[in-house]
Amino acid sequence: MSRHPEIHRVIFDSRQTDVFYTELFYSTIMSLEWLSYLVFYLLSAVFFAFLAYCLYVHHVHRKYDHIPGPPRDSFLLGHASTFTRAMKSDNVIHDLFVQWGEKYGPVYRINIFHQATIAVHCPEATKTILMSPKYLKDPFVYKRLFNLFGKRFLGNGLITAVDHDVWYRQRRIMDPAFSSTYLRSLMGTFNEMSERLMDHLEEIADTKTPAVMHDLVNCVTLDVICKVAFGVDLNFLKQTDSPFQNAVELCLRGMVLDLRDPFFALFPKNWKTVQQIKDAAELLRKTGEKWIQKRKTAIENGEDVPKDILTQILKTAEEEKVNSAKDHEQMLDNFVTFFIAGQETTANQLSFAIMELGRHPEIYKRAKAEVDEILGTKRDISYEDLGKFTYLSQVLKETLRLYPTAPGTNRWLHEDMVINGLKIPGGCSVAFSSYVSQRMDMYFKDPLKFDPERFDVNAPKPYYCYYPFALGPRTCLGQVFSQVMKHTPHKHNCTSLSPSEFLDIQNMQANVCILLDV
Ligand code: HEM
C-alpha cells in the first residue's frame, strides 16, 4: 500500500483518464472516418442521381425538340419560370398560351423538368384524340387532384379517374341523374331558386346599394346543386360567411395553387393557407359523409327519395358491392367532384354573361325581347320553353367561347402520332385549351368581339375548335344540367333589370357589380 494513497489515486485516475481520452479520440476518429465515407458515398449517389436525371432531361429534350416551342428559361426548369413570372404579373396565364399558339403554330412544345407537354389546337387532332376512348386522361395531371396538399380530395371520382373501366362504371350509373326525364322534373326547383335570387335583388334594390352579381350567382348555383343534386336546402343567399360555401371556394383556390406551383406547400409563409385548404377539404368530405348517411337511413326506412345525384352515388356503391372503406371513400370523391365541377363553372359563366349583357345594350334588348315573347306573363319557365330561347342560347354559347370557365383538358399520348405533319413521340401529355382555340383569329374572326351571331343557326358550325364542355367520352356530364341552371335566372335578369340605365360594371374581368332598379 502506498504511503500516499491520495497521490496514488490521482496518478491512477489521471492514467485512467488518459486511456479514456485516447480511446475516445480513436473511436471519434473511426466514426469520423465512417461518417466521411458515408457522406462521400451519399454525395456521390446524389451527384450520380442528379447526373442521371440531367441526362434523362436531355434525352426528353432531344426527343421532342424538333417540335417548335418557346425558348426554355433554363435547362431543368424548362418553361416553369415563364409561368411563374406570368402569374405574378397578374396576367391571365391562358393569354400566354394564345400568344404561343399564334407564334409557334397548332402544335407546340412546353417543357417542365423532365416532362414534355404538347399543346395542340388543330381541329383534326383535337377530333382524333378527344373523341377516342383509347387516349386516357393524363395521369400526371389528374392524379395531382387525388389529394389536395395531402388531404384526399377528388380521389378517383368522375373527373379524376384515369383508368377507363373505373371511370366508365361510375359514368354509366350516374347518367340517369342527368337525363332529360329527370331534369324535366327539376324545373320547379330551378324556378324556385331563381325566384329567390329575384327576391334578394329586390331587397338590395330597395336599399339602393350595389349588388355584387358574381357573389349572388355563386350562392344561387351552390343552392341549386345542394338542392337538386343532394336534396338539401341551405339557402346561401340568406347566409353570411357560410363555412360550407367558404370551404368550396377555398378548395377551388387550393386546386389552382397546387396545380400551378408544386412547391407551394414547402414555403413556411404558405403554411397557414395550406392548413386552411386542408381543413376545407376535410369539411367537404365530412359534410358528404353526413348527407350520404342521412340518405342511406331514409332508404333503409323505406322513405321516398328523389332519383338525384346522391341516390346515384349510393347506387354506384351498391352496384360495385361497396363495403370497404376504400369504396366508401370513392363515394365521397364523387360528392366533392360535383361541387367542384358544377358550381364555379356555372356561376362564372352566368357572371360573364351578365357582364357582357351590360356591356352590349343592343344584345341585351334582343335577348329581353325574346324572353318577353316566349314567357309573356308566365312567371315560370317550363322544360319545353328552354328550347325556344334561341338567341339567349347564342348569348350563353358566345359567353363560353370568350370565357370558357373550365378551359382545357389533357390526354396521355401512349404511342407515336403524326399531328399536323409533325411526328410526336409517344410518352407525353397532350394539352387541349378551349380558351386558346376559341380566341384564335384563324377559327373565329375578330375573336375578342362578343358576338352571339357566330352561333346563329345559319352560321357555319365551328369544327372541333369550340369545346367549352370538352369532347368525346369524357365530355362534361353536367352540360345540360348547367344549361338549364343558366337559362332560368336569365328570365329575371332580362325582364326586370334595365342595365342600359342602371348597370355599372366594375372590374371588367370577373366581378360583375350592378346597381339595380327593379
Ligand atoms: C358552365 C358550366 C360548366 C362547364 C363550362 C363545364 C366544363 C367541363 C369540362 C371542360 C369538363 C372536362 C374536364 C376535364 O377533362 O378535365 C367537365 C367535366 C365534368 N363536369 Fe362539367 N362543366 C360545367 C358544369 C357542370 C355541372 C353543373 C356539373 C354537375 C353538376 C358538371 C359535372 C362534370 C363532371 C361529373 C365531369 C366529369 C365527366 C367525366 O369525365 O365523365 N359540370 N366539365
8 Å CB contact between 451 and 132: no
Indicate the pLDDT class of residue 436, thresholds 50, 70 and 90: very high
The answer to whether residue 339 sits within a structural domain is no
> Which residue's alpha carbon is at the smallest distance from atom 30 of ligand 1?
342
pLDDT cut 90: percent of the chain above it: 64
Full residue range of the structural domain in which residue 120 is found: 51-151+413-461
> Which residue's alpha carbon is at the smallest distance from atom 37 of ligand 1?
159
The answer to whether residue 129 sits within a structural domain is yes
> Which atom of ligand 1 lies at the shortest distance from residue 170's CA?
41
Lowest-confidence segment of 129-133, 227-231, 358-362, 454-458 by average pLDDT = 227-231
Distance 341 CA to ligand 1 centre (A): 5
Distance 158 CA to ligand 1 centre (A): 9
Average pLDDT over residues 181-187: 86
Residue type, 398: E
**Residue length of the chain:** 518
Q: Which sign, positive or negative, has the C-alpha torsion 396, 402, 405, 410?
A: positive
Question: Between 101 and 480, where is the model more confident?
Answer: 101
> Which residue's alpha carbon is at the smallest distance from atom 39 of ligand 1?
474
215: three-class secondary structure by DSSP: helix
Indicate the pLDDT class of residue 10, thresholds 50, 70 and 90: low
**CA–CA distances in Å: residue 350 to residues 49, 131, 343:** 51, 28, 11
Question: Between 513 and 482, where is the model more confident?
Answer: 482
Distance 492 CA to ligand 1 centre (A): 25
pLDDT tens-digit series, residues 16-61: 777 777 788 888 888 888 888 999 999 999 999 999 999 999 999 9
Indicate the pLDDT class of residue 66, thresholds 50, 70 and 90: very high
* Distance between CA atoms of residues 210 and 398, nearest Å: 27
Residues ≥6 apart with Cβ < 8 Å to 427: 413, 414
Bin 242: left if φ > 0, else alpha if -120 < ψ < 50, else beta.
Answer: beta
Q: Is the pLDDT of residue 510 over 50?
A: no
Q: Which of 54, 160, 194 is nearest to 114 (CA)?
A: 54
Dihedral over alpha carbons 310, 311, 312, 313 (to 10 degrees): 50
The answer to whether residue 399 sits within a structural domain is no
Indicate the pLDDT class of residue 147, thresholds 50, 70 and 90: very high
* Distance between CA atoms of residues 41 and 169, nearest Å: 50
- Ligand 1 is surrounded, with C-beta below 6 A, by 158-159, 171, 225, 229, 337-338, 341-342, 345-346, 349, 400, 405-406, 409, 468-470, 474, 476-478, 481-482
Give me the chain's average pLDDT, please: 88
Q: Residue 225 burial (CB < 10 Å; 0-12/13-18/19+)?
A: buried
Q: Is the pLDDT of residue 4 over 70?
A: no
> Which residue's alpha carbon is at the smallest distance from atom 2 of ligand 1?
346
Lowest-confidence segment of 97-111, 298-312, 361-375, 475-489 by average pLDDT = 475-489
- Angle at which helices 325-359 and 361-375 cross, to 10°: 110
8 Å CB contact between 496 and 200: no
Q: Is the pLDDT of residue 456 over 70?
A: yes
The answer to whether residue 109 sits within a structural domain is yes
The answer to whether residue 178 sits within a structural domain is no
Average pLDDT over residues 150-176: 92
Lowest-confidence segment of 50-54, 82-86, 110-114, 131-135 by average pLDDT = 82-86
8 Å CB contact between 363 and 357: yes
Q: Is the pLDDT of residue 90 over 70?
A: yes
Ligand 1 pocket test, candidate residues 338, 343, 396, 476, most atoms within 8 A of CB: 476
* Distance between CA atoms of residues 449 and 70, nearest Å: 28
409: three-class secondary structure by DSSP: strand
Distance 229 CA to ligand 1 centre (A): 14
8 Å CB contact between 429 and 409: no
User: How many Cβ atoms are within 10 Å of 296's Cβ, its own excluded?
Assistant: 14
Q: Is the pLDDT of residue 318 over 80?
A: no
The answer to whether residue 55 sits within a structural domain is yes
Amino acid 512: pLDDT: 41
Number of domains within the chain: 1
* Distance between CA atoms of residues 493 and 497, nearest Å: 6
Q: Which of 506, 477, 391, 449 is nearest to 168 (CA)?
A: 477
Q: Is the pLDDT of residue 516 over 50?
A: no
Number of H helices, E strands in the chain: 20, 10
> Which atom of ligand 1 lies at the shortest distance from residue 174's CA?
35
User: How many Cβ atoms are within 10 Å of 437's Cβ, its own excluded?
Assistant: 28
The answer to whether residue 444 sits within a structural domain is yes
C-alpha cell at 158: 368522375
Distance 467 CA to ligand 1 centre (A): 11
Average pLDDT over residues 93-117: 96
Cα angle for residues 220, 222, 224 (degrees, 5° grid)? 70
Q: Is the pLDDT of residue 166 over 80?
A: yes
219 labeled binding residue: no
Residues ≥6 apart with Cβ < 8 Å to 201: 211, 216, 492, 496, 497, 516, 518
Indicate the pLDDT class of residue 306, thresholds 50, 70 and 90: confident
Q: Is the pLDDT of residue 514 over 70?
A: no
Question: Between 376 and 10, where is the model more confident?
Answer: 376
Average pLDDT over residues 475-480: 93
Residue type, 275: Q
Q: Is the pLDDT of residue 178 over 90?
A: no
Lowest-confidence segment of 139-153, 172-186, 235-249 by average pLDDT = 172-186
8 Å CB contact between 57 and 90: no
Cβ burial 98-134 (10 Å sphere, 16+ → b, else e): bebbeebbbbbbbbbeebbbbbbbbbebbbbbbeeee
Amino acid 509: pLDDT: 34
* Distance between CA atoms of residues 152 and 160, nearest Å: 12
* Distance between CA atoms of residues 490 and 392, nearest Å: 8
Query: Helices (DSSP H) in 242-270: which residue ranges?
Result: 243-260
Question: Between 279 and 320, where is the model more confident?
Answer: 279
Indicate the pLDDT class of residue 498, thresholds 50, 70 and 90: very low
8 Å CB contact between 228 and 184: no
Distance 67 CA to ligand 1 centre (A): 31
8 Å CB contact between 516 and 211: yes
Lowest-confidence segment of 191-200, 347-356, 498-507 by average pLDDT = 498-507
Query: What secondary structure does DSSP assign to 13-26, as a single string?
Result: HHHHHHHHHHHHHH
Cα angle for residues 289, 292, 294 (degrees, 5° grid)? 105
> Which residue's alpha carbon is at the smallest distance from atom 35 of ligand 1?
477
> Which residue's alpha carbon is at the smallest distance from atom 13 of ligand 1?
409
The answer to whether residue 337 sits within a structural domain is no
Q: Is the pLDDT of residue 450 over 90?
A: yes
Instruction: Answer whether 0.75 is exceeded by the pTM.
Output: yes
> Which residue's alpha carbon is at the smallest distance from atom 15 of ligand 1?
409
pLDDT tens-digit series, residues 400-414: 999 999 999 999 999
Q: Is the pLDDT of residue 5 over 70?
A: no
Indicate the pLDDT class of residue 495, thresholds 50, 70 and 90: very low
User: How many Cβ atoms are within 10 Å of 309's Cβ, its own excluded?
Assistant: 26
Amino acid 322: pLDDT: 54
Distance 346 CA to ligand 1 centre (A): 10
Chain mean position to CA 182: 26
pLDDT tens-digit series, residues 233-271: 999 998 888 999 999 999 999 998 998 888 899 999 999
